[in-house]
Each structure stands twice: as C-alpha cells, then as structure tokens.
Structure 1
Amino acid sequence: MVTTGLVAIDSTILATAVPTIVRDLGGFSSVPWLFSVYLLTQAVTVPIYSKLADTIGRKPVVLVGVGLFLLGSVLSGAAWSMGALIAFRAVQGLGAGAVQPMAITIAGDIYTVAERARVQGYLASVWGISAVVGPTLGGVFSQFVSWRWIFYVNVPLCVLAVWLLLRHFHESVERRRHRIDWTGGVLLTSGLTLLILALLEGGEAWAWDSAWSVGAFALGAALLVAFVLVERRADEPVLPLWVWSRRLLVTTALVSVGVGAILIGLTTYVPSYLETMLGSTPIVAGLTLALLTIGWPIAASQAGRLYLRVGFRTTVLVGSGVVVLGTAWLAATAPHPSVAYVGLGCFVVGLGLGLVATPSLIAAQSSVDWGERGVVTGANLFARSMGSAVGVAVLGALVNGILRGAAPGAATDRFDHAVTWAFTGVAVAAVLMTVAAVAMPRDRAAGAAAAPGAAGADEPVATA
C-alpha cells in the first residue's frame, strides 16, 4: 500500500501545482510533456520489469523501482527549468513502471484467490485516498510553501517503503542463470515510444497527416514487427507471445484497455468541464472526480464475495454494465451542467470499475503459476496504460477538432458540445469493454480457485 501510494499520490498532486510551476519555470507550451513523458516511460517499462520479476524475483525489482522513483523525485524538486523537470519526470516514470505492477504481483503471490479481492481493495483504496489528499497537498504546498515539495514529499514515503520491504517481505527464488532479452527490450521500448508519442502529440505538436506523424507511426510499427520476430526465437523473451494466444489473457487485457481509456477520459475532462461550465474551483472539481476513485475501492473490496459465488466472468459483466450506465448518464447530462450530476456519474462509474478491474486481473493471475504471474500482471497493466495513451489521443483529437471550429465569443457553448462528445466517447469505450467481458471464457466452479495454491503448486515461497 505504501509503494502504491507513491504512484497514486504523484498522479494527482501535480495537476493543482502546474500554474505555480509555470510562473516559476516558464514554458507553458511544454506543460503536457510533464504528464505524457511520465506516462510514456511508465508504460514502456512495465513489460520489461515484469519479465525480470519472473526471473530474479519481485523484491529486487520493486526496490530498484522505488529507488528510481526516489531519485526522480529529488531531481524534480531541484529542477531549474521546464526542460530539466520534464527529463526528471521521465526518471520518475521509470520507477513507477516497476512499482505499480510489482505491488499487485506480490499481492498475487502471498494471498489466496479468495483473499486477493479484499487485499486488492486495500490497494485500490490507496487511489481513493490519494484522489482527495493529492490535489489538497498540491494546493497547500504551491500556495503556502513551494511547488518543489510536491516532489520532496515522496522522499519519506520511499524510505518507509524500502524499510518495510526489506524487513517484512521475504521470497525464495530458484537461482539460475538467465539470458536477458536485451534486443527484445530495446525493440519493444523504441517501438512503443514512437507509437505513444505519435498518439499523444498527433494533432498537437504536429498534424495527424504530417511527415512527423506518419514517420513515427510507420517506424514504431516496423520496430514492433521486428520485436515479434525476435521474441519468437528468444530463449527468455521479455514479453512472451503465448500471453496473447490464451483467450482469458487476451480478453482480460482488452478489458484493461477499456479501463485505461475510461479513466483517462474522465480524469482529463471532468475537472475542465466543471471549471469552465460552472466556474467551480479546482478543489471542488477535484473532489467531484474523487468520487470515482472512492466508489472503486468500495466495490473492489466486495468483489471477492461476488466472484467466488458467480465466477470472474459474471462479476466483470455486472461491473461493465454498471460502468455503461454511469458513462451514459454523464453523456446524457453533459448539456445540463451540474456538480451533483457529474458526481453521481463518477461514483457509479467507480463502483463499476471496482467490479471490473480487480476481478479481471485476478482471473488472469489465477490462470498461471508463479513463474508466469509477473509477465501476466505486467501485460494486463501494460494494456491499461495503452488504453490510457490511445484514449487520451482519440478524445483529445475529437475535442480539439470541435473547439477549433468555435466562432469568436462562442467558445463556452462549443466546449459544452465538445465535452458531451468526449463523455460519449467514454461511454463507447465502456460498451466495447463489455463486449470484451462477454468474450471471456466461462469460469469453472468458482469456489475451486479459492484454495491456497490454486494457481500452481510449484511456486517459490513468498511471505510478508
């Protein structure tokens, strides 16, 4: 929970401090890079860290991740220019790419299937708390101390996380020589970097049909093709292709793509919508959005009781239906701005996601043994990151295209129209996520998976 808190707080604390950072460092046009470079480095490193965790163990990987996150935080707090801050945010992202999947993987190692939903609910509650604490801390530090403390506050948390891991988490891993797939790792990282950059910057830094955009997409796709060819022959591939040949793993990954797209869509546009259409303060807008991450852990903590009775697939389907209702409500009420309407929609969506994200991830983890669980967890979270990257690109292009056509003096009305379409896009993502849930294979007896060791009897010992 402490290591998860590092990533969770960092994802919310920065937004409220951006105006203060710009006044101090300048470079307003570069602000999107503060977020996109973090997302980029986090997304492309998740598969690599996850493979390493299955070969050398979870503990060294998560310790390296916390160390990189600590280094990036200290450097970000000392940044002297916007360019330096962006570079140091990339270092933070490199650490976050290890921290988040390892926390979830370790929970999968040391708890039974029956216990995991409750534990994953605890982990999800960290995000709910951070959704309230993060923006508040960011505002307090920016207004009364210094924006640099939004990064320095990570230092004691990192130290505490390292101490807890060293003292309380012990694992026994079979020591053998491993051949690290450096070629595959470089090809995957390079290809995804180009594709995610093209998605994030298309329509912003360059036109979608420009030479830069076409070149980035083409080269990124070529590198990923080369990656697939390399992985087919690698002794220990960084992202084994078998992950994408199993129906359960593919469908749960597609569900995770939908989760990522829905989260990024609401996180991006709910605060701007409330502040622009209703004149709400950033704190009110942030607290309204926080209802989403409050509903999530409430549902996630109860998901275990449901999937042990009716199975993973049915639980995910129920959650997907709730998400569809919540996103449809937001799209339908967008032309009639109201904090209460938006808060209700966000809370309902959060409840639905709590019944989707946790059970689908546990279903994937439970289908493999210890030696594959890190890769499977990493692939699932990687899919969520890709959903966020694609979602922010598609919704951003949609909203920006509508706003560019606004007549002088009609920008507010046009923004209302644009956000209505953005919320509609999120609802479409929820429907597609439901289709992926329908395609999940039916569960065997739900209770059979509840026994300790159900995921595999040959697992190395891990205790807390």
Structure 2
Amino acid sequence: MPALPTTRRPLVIAAVMASMFMVAIEATIVSTAMPQIVGDLGGLALYSWVFSSFLLTQTAATVVFGKLSDVYGRKPVMLAGIAVFLVGSLLCGFARSMPAMIAFRLLQGVGAGAIQPIALTIVGDLYSAQERGRIQGFLASVWATSAVLGPLAGGFIIEHASWAWIFWLNIPVGLLAATGFATFLHEGVTRAERRIDAAGAALFTVAIGALMVALTEAGSSDSWGAMTAACVALVGATLFVLQERLAPEPVIAFSVWSRRPIAASNGCSLLAGMALIGLTTFLPMYVQGVLGQTPLVAGLALTVMVLGWPIGATLAARTLTRFGLRPILLTGSLLLPLGASVLLTLGPGSAPVTAGLASLVMGFGMGLLSTAALVLIQEIVPWSQRGSATASNVFSRNLGSTLGATLFGAVLNHGLARAGTGVHADQLQHLLASGGGAGLTEIRATLQQALHLTFWAMFGIAAAAVLLALLVPHVPLGRARETPAE
C-alpha cells in the first residue's frame, strides 16, 4: 500500500481560517447591506427571514454533516460544504425578489452547517490538546476580525458597488480554502461499507427546522404558524428518536451524546449561547434607549465582548495542560453570571464603560468556556466519532442562540406589558432612532424596567450554566493520536 502524502498542517490551518472567515463575516456584512437589499427587492415583512433562514439550515445541517465526516472523512465533506456555500452565495447576488433571496440563504446555511463543525474537527484531528494553544488563538482571531471588518467592508461595498458583491466576495475566499484542503489535507480513511441513516437525517432536519421556525415566529402575530411548526417539530422529533433506536448507523448516537462529559458540556454551551445572545441583542438597546448614547457608543460597548472572546479562547488553549480542562471550563462559566450581575447594576445614570465591562467579562468567560468544552469533547471520543461529537457542541451553541433570542424577547415583551404605560413598538423605535429627548422620558423609564427584567433572566440562565459545568467530570489530556490523517 503506497504511503499517503504528508499533510502540511500550517497550510491546512490557513484553509480552515479562510473557510471559517466566510461563515463568521456573513452576519455582520449582510446586516450592513440589508437596507439597500430591501430597497431594491422589497418584501420588508420578510426582513428577519434573510437571517433566520441561514441560521435555520445551518443549525439543522450541523449534526448531519458531522456524522458524514465520520463516515467519509473530513476532506470530501468539507469540500462539498464549501461548494454548496459558494453556490448559495452566487445565487444570492443574482436574487431579484425577497423569497428568492431567502431560498438562496437557506442553501448558504446548508454549506455553513458543514464548514463550521468540520473545520473545528480538522483542528482536533491534526493537533493534540497540548499543541492547540497557538491554533485556537488564530481561529479566535478570525471571529474578532470578521466582527470588525464586516460592517466596514459592507459599508464600502454598498457605497462603491452593487450589494451583490456582499455575497460574491465569498467566492475567491472559498475557492482558495477549497484548494488548500484538496491539495494539503490527506486522510487515510478506511473505506468500509457503512450505511447512511438517510431517514434519520431527514427527520432530524425536519424536526430542527420546524423547531427553529416555531421559535422564530413565537410572539409574532402569526401564532397559528408557530403552533403548527411546533407540532411538526414534536412529531418529527418523536419519529427521529424511534428511527435512531433502530438504525445500525444512527445520525445521533445516543450512547455518545448521553455520556456525562458530553451531555454536561453541551448543556453548558447551550445555556452560555442563550446568555450571550441576550447580551448581543439587548445591551446595545439599553445603551441607546436608556443611557441615551449614540449607536457608535452602543457598538463599542458590545465590541469589547468580541475582543474578550478570542483573548479568553487563546488563554484557555495555552493553559490547558497547566490547569486542566474542568477548572478552565468552570472559570469561564462563573464569569458569565459575574458579567451579567454587572448589567443588573445599570441605571439611567450609569456610564457606558460599565456596560462595556459587563460585555468584556462575559466575552472573556465565553472564550474560556467554549474552548475548554470543545477540547474536552474531542479528547474523549475516537476519530470515528469526533466529527459527530464536535458537531454536537456547535449545534448546542447555535440552538442556544435561537432559544435565547426567543426567551429574552418574550421576557422583554412581558416587562413592557407589566409596566402598564401603553408603550408601543413604534414609540420604542422612535426612542432608539432619536437618541432621547424630554418627551420620551416615560418611554425610556418603561424600557429600562423591561430590560432590567431581561438582564435578570440572563443572569438566571448564566447561573444555570455554572450548575451544569459543575457536573462535568475531570477529563485527562493526552488521548492517543489515532487520526487517519497522514
């Protein structure tokens, strides 16, 4: 049997960073262009679905592609994911109606559902936990850079070119990433006959897709649509569980997902994702609507979270061998309620720097927690299950974001209703757009009370994440390097 070419790890990591950059920058750069896109295509009522459709298929596809990478290897599935993402990006640029844009964003999300978990799995394959400190720093910097460059690049493109280039910008980056994987990543995957649980994959996609639709529509005027989607999700989930118990090669191996370290780590990641989406959604609203600051100041208060995350991730990866996985995960989880508690001290006269401090602490804690949880999960499974295990963690965080957005939105609406002042959405929009004013004092006070209640809910979710982190057992580093790469 001829020897495999040697995998060139630095060049593979460059391809990983390029592929992750496409997914990471997608949210911020598209947000910048959406006013122009809606102006050209119309369909303002479908505005939120341009984002929800992408997240829907990304979340649903994550677990399926993780399983496929365990069967067929990382490279072919990653290349397929990049191809789907680029086709979706190309079509988005040619969209001539809002329904077409949403359909093409669904396709983009499928590709993203392959890219994100498999990129992290490739890193786990090629590097031991002891080697991963420097690499995690590189990967974390991708998300921080995309958060800064996204709005700048989006604004520049909108000003000097068509909004279609917002999507077409992915094509050269994706082609470079695909070339890197095809040329420099070599795997010795055993081509054994293994049946793919196609029925399980379809049922899982339907169940999670319907759940995402139900969560997205929850609280909207279309309550009938949300209830219908919830029923579809329940039926799909029931059939999926029955199918997985019978399938010889299940999409989700319950014996793996139910293992205490994986279940506790994923549960902690889910709650942390919920807390963080609450921060990113409602902190800018508080800084603008209650503190009366400009959108720039509100953006800066949130940006320090994006800076704290990669710093925490890099520090966690570099100190894994010194302190161990469990202590770092616990420390990260404790920082989440600590940062949320700072939000509870905010009042109409608070300085924006206080809000920024809370954002920084929570971002730093999330960096510690997410890195430790991912490495822990990858350390306790063999190569043949590492793709599925990694995807389970990414899936948990994504699902947590959706659950959190729905939960905290409901808490905010409850807080506004409980205030009993008859404040309407258009009045809040006017407050945020105007930056304040003497005639808006009552509205600002009502918003402050509602957001304070939301911060309490965020604190409770973050505290629950600590309880789950306490259930994570000690997992030693130094698993055998059984990967077929090289």
TM class by smaller structure:
over 0.9
Following superposition, the deviation at residue 163 of structure 1 comes to: 1.6
d(CA) in 1 for partners of 2:87 and 2:221?
Answer: 29
The CA deviation string for residues 317-372 of structure 1, in whole angstroms up to 9 with x for no partner, is 11111222112112321544543222221111111111100011100100011001
Q: In 2 relative to 1, CA 146–420 (structure 1 residues): closer, same or farther, beyond 3 Å?
A: farther
Following superposition, the deviation at residue 16 of structure 1 comes to: 2.3
CA contact (8 A) 2:128 2:481 kept: no
Match of 1:61 in 2: 77
Corresponding residue to 1:389 among 402, 406, 412: 402
Following superposition, the deviation at residue 283 of structure 1 comes to: 4.5
Aligned: 1:191 with 2:207: yes
d(CA) in 2 for partners of 1:342 and 1:146?
Answer: 36
Following superposition, the deviation at residue 36 of structure 1 comes to: 1.0
TM norm structure 2: 0.88
d(CA) in 2 for partners of 1:268 and 1:146?
Answer: 28
The answer to which of 399-408 and 189-198 deviates more is 399-408
Match of 1:22 in 2: 38
The answer to which of 321-330 and 244-253 deviates more is 321-330
Match of 1:79 in 2: 95
d(CA) in 1 for partners of 2:344 and 2:192?
Answer: 54
Match of 1:3 in 2: 19
Aligned: 1:308 with 2:324: no
Q: Which amino acid aligns with 1:387?
A: G
Q: In 2 relative to 1, CA 461–271 (structure 1 residues): closer, same or farther, beyond 3 Å?
A: same
d(CA) in 2 for partners of 1:403 and 1:27?
Answer: 28
SS in 2 for 1:14: helix
CA contact (8 A) 2:81 2:115 kept: yes
d(CA) in 2 for partners of 1:402 and 1:416?
Answer: 9
SS in 2 for 1:232: helix
Q: Which amino acid aligns with 1:49?
A: F
Aligned: 1:459 with 2:483: yes
Q: In 2 relative to 1, CA 45–402 (structure 1 residues): closer, same or farther, beyond 3 Å?
A: same
Structure 2 alignment gaps of length 5 or more: 1-16, 424-439
Aligned: 1:415 with 2:447: yes
Corresponding residue to 1:440 among 445, 467, 472: 472
Match of 1:99 in 2: 115
The answer to which of 401-410 and 412-421 deviates more is 401-410
Match of 1:424 in 2: 456
Q: Which amino acid aligns with 1:62?
A: M
CA contact (8 A) 2:62 2:113 kept: yes
CA contact (8 A) 1:13 1:135 kept: yes
d(CA) in 2 for partners of 1:128 and 1:351?
Answer: 12
CA contact (8 A) 1:116 1:362 kept: no
Q: Which amino acid aligns with 1:459?
A: T
CA contact (8 A) 2:61 2:110 kept: yes
Q: Which amino acid aligns with 2:471?
A: A
CA contact (8 A) 1:313 1:442 kept: yes
Match of 1:289 in 2: 302
SS in 2 for 1:70: helix
Tell me the number of residue pairs that the alignment of Structure 1 and Structure 2 aligns. Answer: 451
The CA deviation string for residues 117-176 of structure 1, in whole angstroms up to 9 with x for no partner, is 431222111111111111221222223433322212112211111122122222111112
Aligned: 1:259 with 2:291: no
d(CA) in 2 for partners of 1:305 and 1:198?
Answer: 41
Q: In 2 relative to 1, CA 178–312 (structure 1 residues): closer, same or farther, beyond 3 Å?
A: same
CA contact (8 A) 1:117 1:358 kept: no
d(CA) in 2 for partners of 1:434 and 1:71?
Answer: 41
Q: In 2 relative to 1, CA 415–16 (structure 1 residues): closer, same or farther, beyond 3 Å?
A: farther
SS in 2 for 1:440: coil
d(CA) in 2 for partners of 1:158 and 1:184?
Answer: 30
Corresponding residue to 1:224 among 222, 226, 237: 237
CA contact (8 A) 2:157 2:166 kept: yes
Corresponding residue to 2:312 among 273, 292, 299: 299
Corresponding residue to 1:365 among 368, 372, 378: 378
d(CA) in 1 for partners of 2:371 and 2:39?
Answer: 40
The CA deviation string for residues 216-239 of structure 1, in whole angstroms up to 9 with x for no partner, is 223311211111111111111111
Match of 1:48 in 2: 64
Match of 2:190 in 1: 174
SS in 2 for 1:177: coil
TM norm structure 1: 0.92
SS in 1 for 2:246: coil
Match of 1:129 in 2: 145
CA contact (8 A) 1:13 1:137 kept: yes
d(CA) in 2 for partners of 1:142 and 1:273?
Answer: 28
The CA deviation string for residues 425-444 of structure 1, in whole angstroms up to 9 with x for no partner, is 22222111111100111244
d(CA) in 2 for partners of 1:441 and 1:309?
Answer: 17
Following superposition, the deviation at residue 415 of structure 1 comes to: 2.3
Match of 2:433 in 1: none
Match of 2:343 in 1: 330
The CA deviation string for residues 290-311 of structure 1, in whole angstroms up to 9 with x for no partner, is 2112111112111134332222
Q: Which amino acid aligns with 1:93?
A: G
Q: Which amino acid aligns with 1:306?
A: T
Note the aligned Cα RMSD (angstroms). Answer: 1.9
Following superposition, the deviation at residue 247 of structure 1 comes to: 0.3
Q: Which amino acid aligns with 2:306?
A: T
d(CA) in 1 for partners of 2:278 and 2:444?
Answer: 19
The CA deviation string for residues 250-305 of structure 1, in whole angstroms up to 9 with x for no partner, is 00111110222123222222333334345555454334322112111112111134
Q: In 2 relative to 1, CA 149–412 (structure 1 residues): closer, same or farther, beyond 3 Å?
A: farther
